[in-house]
Amino acid sequence: MYVRLSADTGLLRDYGAACATHATDLDATAARLRTLGPSPMFGPVGARFVASLLHAVEREVG
């Protein structure tokens, strides 16, 4: 016995487009974070924050 599956393809396309846009935004953010300058310039707390943020963005970008 087979189960019938239906999906709204328009919503799936919209979701895919939103994910692609989000990934592009994350790529741009990661690129900007890489150009911030040397970590010591931000002090110990700022340097850790920037490093953590960059790591999180790179992890999300994949």
Quote helix, strand, coil % in the chain, to nearest 5: 80, 0, 20
Assigned domain for 4 exists? no
How many residues can be counted in the chain?
62
Assigned domain for 14 exists? no
Assigned domain for 47 exists? yes
Residue 14 is predicted with a pLDDT of 97
Assigned domain for 21 exists? no
For 46, the domain range is: 30-62
Assigned domain for 46 exists? yes
pLDDT digits (tens, 9 = 90+) for 14-57: 999 999 998 898 888 878 877 877 777 888 888 888 888 888 87
Assigned domain for 7 exists? no
